[in-house]
Amino acid sequence: MARLKVLPFFLIYGKINEVMAKKNNTKRKLVGLVSEESGVRAYYTKKNTMNTPDKLSLRKYDPVLRKHVLFTETKKNLGRNEVKEKKR
């Protein structure tokens, strides 16, 4: 019996870009938008840190209060994914 030859994904389709990871050399950062009245982080957006170095403020719909309020920029992760020191 003849054995079937299994080819890698990029050889089948001829594109190596679909297999490799995308390089993150962009100046755009992912930021979260937090409502000033209810404190809910309901929106995420990307902003160019070179063009707008100050905090972003947008008037958007708050689903908790069910009205339009001012949302201000915070970090995306708010400290959840930061590396912590090892306990010894």
Domain boundaries, the chain: 25-75
Mind listing the pLDDT tens digit of every residue in the chain (88 residues)? 556 566 555 555 555 555 556 666 778 888 899 999 998 888 999 898 889 889 999 999 999 999 999 999 988 765 554 555 667 6
How far is the C-alpha of 33 from the C-alpha of 71, rounded, in Å?
A: 6
**Burial of residue 78, with CB atoms counted within 10 A of its CB: 0-12 exposed, 13-18 middle, 19 or more buried:** exposed
CATH topology of domain 25-75: Rubrerythrin, domain 2 (2.20.28)
